[in-house]
Amino acid sequence: MAVIGSVDPAAYEAWYYTRRGRWIGEREATLLLELIKPARGQSLLDVGSGTGYFSRRFAAGGLAVTGIDPDPAMLDYARTLSGPVEYLVGRAERLPFADNSFDYVAAVTSLCFINTPEAALQEMWRVSRRGIALGLLNRHSLLYLRKGGRGGYAGARWDTWSELARWITRLRPPAAAPKHKTAILWPKGGMLAQSLDAPMGAVLPWGGFLAAYIPRRL
């Protein structure tokens, strides 16, 4: 969940290596992997992969990862970074893959830049065999109260779990029961905030990062 700002790929990626960025990136990746619970060697398509921070992190977790993004500059930069990830230019709304091509499809703070999220979700659903993992910006959060719609978050849509739950009910074929959690409850991320984020995020739904896993009925 780096802010998008001017979208200079190197600056975007560099945020993940700031003190706050390291914490947020790792917390979000860990939460998504906890929700997905993948097995080593399974495949994952990372939609809106940007500079590939999460693609590489998923690959480090043992997944065979393909990243796709409409921005060639982001992908050119991602290819300069080490990690066994293949990157392709493309959009969530029209994925150049056959049905059920990947075990999992993930979209981390990319669906929030897409004007037709339901259609994009259905397209991601089409190419996934096991399920979809999403990282969204949570409108019911302190981060939204502090930053909503301003600064580097300008242009992004902030969603809620109830909106996402409604989209999920309209997926075809129907999904199995989804799971969701939030993270990044206190966005400044001091030591106390960092140590309390996982235990409090397990019970409080107000983190700025809304993570969801939508499993297929197998």
Ligand X SMILES: C[S@@+](CC[C@H](N)C(=O)[O-])C[C@H]1O[C@@H](n2cnc3c(N)ncnc32)[C@H](O)[C@@H]1O
Which residues make beta-bridge pairs with 132? Answer: 105, 214
132 binds ligand X (CB under 6 A): no
74 binds ligand X (CB under 6 A): yes
How far apart CA 66 and CA 54 sit, in angstroms, is 11
How far apart CA 188 and CA 143 sit, in angstroms, is 9
How far apart CA 20 and CA 147 sit, in angstroms, is 16
108 binds ligand X (CB under 6 A): yes
| For ligand X, the closer CB: 2 or 121 | 2
Contact 215, 175 (CB under 8 A): yes
Binding positions for ligand X, 76-95, rule CB under 6 A: 91-93
Which residues, in sequence order, are CB contacts of 71 under 8 Å at separation 6+?
Answer: 7, 50
138 binds ligand X (CB under 6 A): no
54 binds ligand X (CB under 6 A): yes
Q: Is 174 exposed, middle or buried (0-12, 13-18, 19+ CB in 10 A)?
A: exposed
Smallest separation (angstroms) from ligand X to the CB of 75? 9
Which residues make beta-bridge pairs with 94? Answer: 91
Closest chain position to ligand X (CB) = 50
Using CB under 6 A, count the residues that bind ligand X: 20
Contact 159, 153 (CB under 8 A): no
Q: Which of the ranges 107-115, 122-130, 189-197, 207-215 carries the binding residues for ligand X, by CB under 6 A?
A: 107-115
121 binds ligand X (CB under 6 A): no
2 binds ligand X (CB under 6 A): yes
Residues that bind ligand X (CB under 6 A): 2, 4, 47-50, 53-54, 69-71, 74, 91-93, 108-110, 113-114
